[in-house]
Structure 1
Amino acid sequence: MIDSDVDARVQPLAAEALSAGRRLLLPGGERTAEVVDTAVEHDDFGVPAVVVVTLESGETLRIATGSTVQVEPAEEMPLITADEGSPEALVAHVAAIHPESPRVQELAERLTRGVNFKSGSNLQDIRDLALTLYVDLSDPASALRVCDLLTDQPFDGNFGRWNLIEACLALAAHLTSESDPSRAAAYSAALRTADDAETDPLKAKLAAAVRQRQLNEPNLYDREIARASDDPAVEKDWRGLRLSVLLYLRAHGGSETLSPEALDRRIGHELLAIRALGVRLSTSG
């Protein structure tokens, strides 16, 4: 049972996203303590394995990567409900849940001025907000709600616009793959809408061949990530692009060279790597 000195409104956070200044609910759930430092230990294969947290008392906690911990909100801020059901209200609600994230606040500040679904910059901000919520803040519920701002948008022939909608469909399919497989399948089917958009038989055949080659030999930014290994911020950006490609491939059903199971493993590894880089950046800032 949580004591009265513990804020009842603790919120979940990925262990990799813990940073100095956050108040962590300790094992047993009876009290919180301030985090003063974090570090990530890797296993023998170079994969992030354990987050080592130093508390204000000098004690340390070892938390497995991929775990979710409970923390107190970074500051007091009233939650804004989305009673009106508008996109702007939903974004404002998400921003109120995550006052500790400058990136969420930046994106929300632009979107709450008014969401225009014909605007490429608005669609990009929605996609970036969904990814930030899931990848950096480990808030899949909010990420899915933000994705759903775009998942019912039709393909209108504009591939620049569609790529952003497609990214939200891919993330939504991933987020619902275990909890609601039929919903995930619907997102995946919507993602493939553009595949059958070409009505000319010859052009459709050529487009299918090009698409299969892209699925079989995707650009996963291996060279860029290797070159950025000494710059966590740049490496994190490239890994974010790789994650988006992997999510798309998984939602598309895999390919002749990458099975769904292999993609699931790679997505999990990429999430751990990106979150670990986020920890490094937050503690070095």
Structure 2
Amino acid sequence: MIESRKPTRVRRLNAEAVAAGHHIIGPAGTEAAEVVETVIETDDYGTPAVVVATLDSGQTLRIATGSQVQVAVDEREVAAGSIPAQDGTPEAVIAHVVSVHPESEHLQGIAERLTRGMNFKSGSNLQDVHDLALSLLVDFADAANARRVCDLLTELPFDGNFGRWKWIEGALALASYLAFDDGDADRADAYSASLRTADDAETDPLKAKLAAAVRQRQLNAPNLYDPEINRAAAAGDTKAEKDWRVVRLTVLLYLRSHGGSETLTADELARRIHNELVAIRAL
């Protein structure tokens, strides 16, 4: 008896997000083949240029960075990984975006916590939403869903609680970059303006002046965690290196949302963010 093929659906994936285990459809629309390894090659200037995917057949596919490919997803896995939530709610948004990535236990774990009922006054819930959006971009190059998740937080006002605000601020910085990268400059500027509302929260003129001076110093000389990243790389600890690079990425996003600084221009930050994303995905 001939075994029937698994029901599948096709979704698009950024080249940098292709990883071992994905079933990629060839350029001629050929049957999906499993990827067993990926390597990112750079051009002569050190900029990531091509993703080389090795298939289970031994053949390789060369895919330009920034482009997209089609991968096959088992619909039964999607159904098994789906999380019930009432339509039109933040929980429904979370359930939808994680259903696109049923293979990720990390995303499913975050979604399971959030879909029990989101509390926007809870710092841990805000952190989960922020981390979900960041993971969608970093690990899956899923910019569209990352932005949808960010928008669960981007309308929340600054209420004076910096513990909660840092996660909203992070979502605004990420959303600003995603809008900028998508060519929507006005939307990117709006997110950045919302992020900076906390900068102007101090009403005492002297305290506000001192806070502005401290903030400018932080923008001009940010901690980009070079020693930590270099130590992890030298030790071959890819998990630690990735964790520190993700922290550095959030700093770069924050700097870009402020329009850069006296030492790092907005264009330079955009370039570094792109390269950091590629470096993280290569680990």
Task: In structure 2, give the amino acid aligned to 1:25.
Answer: I
Residue correspondence of structure 1 range 39-50 to structure 2 within 5 A: 39-42=39-42, 48-50=48-50
Q: Name the structure 2 match of 1:211.
A: 215
Question: 1:67 Cα shift?
Answer: 3.3
C-alpha separation in 2, matches of 1:214 and 1:101: 36
Task: In structure 1, give the amino acid aligned to 2:205.
Answer: P
Task: In structure 2, give the amino acid aligned to 1:15.
Answer: A
Q: Name the structure 1 match of 2:63.
A: 63
Residue correspondence of structure 1 range 40-189 to structure 2 within 5 A: 40-42=40-42, 48-74=48-74, 76=76, 77-78=78-79, 84-177=87-180, 178-189=182-193
Distance 1:48 1:7, change over 3 A: farther
Q: Name the structure 2 match of 1:38.
A: 38
Q: Name the structure 1 match of 2:242.
A: 236
C-alpha separation in 1, matches of 2:204 and 2:19: 55
Task: In structure 2, give the amino acid aligned to 1:54.
Answer: T
C-alpha separation in 1, matches of 2:72 and 2:89: 28
RMSD: 2.1
- TM-score by length of structure 1 reads 0.89
C-alpha separation in 1, matches of 2:121 and 2:273: 30
Deviations 1:216-238, CA, capped at 9 Å, x for gaps: 11111111111110211111110
C-alpha separation in 1, matches of 2:135 and 2:172: 15
1:28 aligns to what SS in structure 2? Answer: coil
Please say if residues 133 and 145 of structure 2, whose CA atoms lie closer than 8 Å, have aligned partners that are also in contact: yes
C-alpha separation in 2, matches of 1:235 and 1:46: 19
Question: 1:135 Cα shift?
Answer: 1.3
Distance 1:134 1:7, change over 3 A: farther
Task: In structure 1, give the amino acid aligned to 2:92.
Answer: A
Task: In structure 2, give the amino acid aligned to 1:34.
Answer: E
Question: 1:125 Cα shift?
Answer: 0.4
1 or 2 for the larger relative contact order (CA 8 Å, sep ≥6)? Answer: 1
Please say if residues 6 and 30 of structure 1, whose CA atoms lie closer than 8 Å, have aligned partners that are also in contact: no
Question: 1:7 Cα shift?
Answer: 7.2
Task: In structure 2, give the amino acid aligned to 1:191.
Answer: L
5+ unaligned residues in a row in structure 2: which ranges? none
Question: 1:6 Cα shift?
Answer: 11
Please say if residues 87 and 149 of structure 1, whose CA atoms lie closer than 8 Å, have aligned partners that are also in contact: yes
Question: 1:24 Cα shift?
Answer: 0.3
C-alpha separation in 2, matches of 1:48 and 1:234: 22
Distance 1:81 1:139, change over 3 A: farther
Please say if residues 83 and 112 of structure 2, whose CA atoms lie closer than 8 Å, have aligned partners that are also in contact: no
Q: How many residues align?
A: 273
Question: 1:21 Cα shift?
Answer: 2.8
Q: Name the structure 1 match of 2:25.
A: 25
Question: 1:70 Cα shift?
Answer: 1.4
1:9 aligns to what SS in structure 2? Answer: strand
Q: Name the structure 1 match of 2:9.
A: 9
2:73 aligns to what SS in structure 1? Answer: coil
C-alpha separation in 2, matches of 1:129 and 1:206: 35
Instruction: Tell me if 1:195 matches 2:179.
Output: no
C-alpha separation in 2, matches of 1:205 and 1:118: 30
Q: Name the structure 2 match of 1:260.
A: 266
5+ unaligned residues in a row in structure 1: which ranges? 278-285
Please say if residues 81 and 90 of structure 1, whose CA atoms lie closer than 8 Å, have aligned partners that are also in contact: no
Please say if residues 13 and 69 of structure 1, whose CA atoms lie closer than 8 Å, have aligned partners that are also in contact: yes
Equivalent residue in structure 1 for 2:280, among 260, 265, 274: 274
- TM-score by length of structure 2 reads 0.89
